Amino acid sequence: MQVDLQQDFFSLFNLPARFNIDSALLEQNYRALQSQVHPDKFAHRSETERRVAMQQSTFVNEAFQTLRKPIDRARYLLTLHGVETHEETNTAMPLDFLMQQMDWREALESALAARDLSVIEDLENQLQTDNRALLQQLATALDVENDYQQGAGLVRKCRFLEKLAEEVAAAFDELDN
C-alpha cells in the first residue's frame, strides 16, 4: 500500500474534515494503516522501500497524533481553511476571560502557599468544566457555523486553559514532594 504524503489527515483516515470525529473509527483506521506501512514489515526489503515505509509510517503517526487531540485537531482544521491561530503573537482576549485567568492564578498561588489541596482540586475541576464548554463552543463554531475566525479565538482560549492546567498539575506535584 502507498500512503499519499500530500493528502490531508482526515482523508488519510477516511474521516470527514470536522472537529467532532469518531475517535473509535480514527483508532481503527490508524491501526489498519500502520499494519500496512509499519517499517518492520519492510525490514527485508531494499533500502529505498524501507525509507519509504519509514516516511509513510511517520506521516500516519503524525496524522493520528494530530487528530486524536481536540486542540491539535482544531488547529489543523483551521489550517486547512487558511486560518492560523497565532497563539504566540495574538494574546488578545476578552477582559472577563483574562480576569478569570488572573483570579485562578492568584487562587492557585494562595492554595499552594497554604498547601491547601482542596482548593487546587476545585480549581482543577473548574478548569476541566470550562475546557469542556470551550470544546463544545469550538465544535459549534467549526462544524455548524463554519466560523473559523471564532474557532481560532476559541483555540487561543483553550491554550490559556491548557497552560493553567499545567500549572495546577505542577502544584499537585509540588505538594506531593
| Planar angle of CA 31, 34, 35, nearest 5 degrees | 85
pLDDT at 86: 87
pLDDT at 45: 83
| Mean pLDDT, the chain cut into blocks of 10 residues (177 residues total) | 84 96 97 87 83 90 97 97 89 88 94 94 95 97 97 94 94 87
Query: What's the longest Cα–Cα distance across the chain?
Result: 63
Containing structural domain, residue 140: 95-176
Q: What is the pTM of this model?
A: 0.86
155 located within any domain: yes
130 located within any domain: yes
Q: Looking at the structure, tell me whether residues 57 and 17 fall in a common domain.
A: yes
Q: Looking at the structure, tell me whether residues 111 and 156 fall in a common domain.
A: yes
75 located within any domain: no
Distances in whole angstroms, Cα of residue 131 to Cα of each of 11, 106, 163: 28, 19, 12
pLDDT at 1: 62
| Planar angle of CA 134, 151, 71, nearest 5 degrees | 60
The CATH number given to whatever domain includes residue 135 is 1.20.1280.20
- State phi, psi for 13 to the nearest 5 degrees: -100, 15
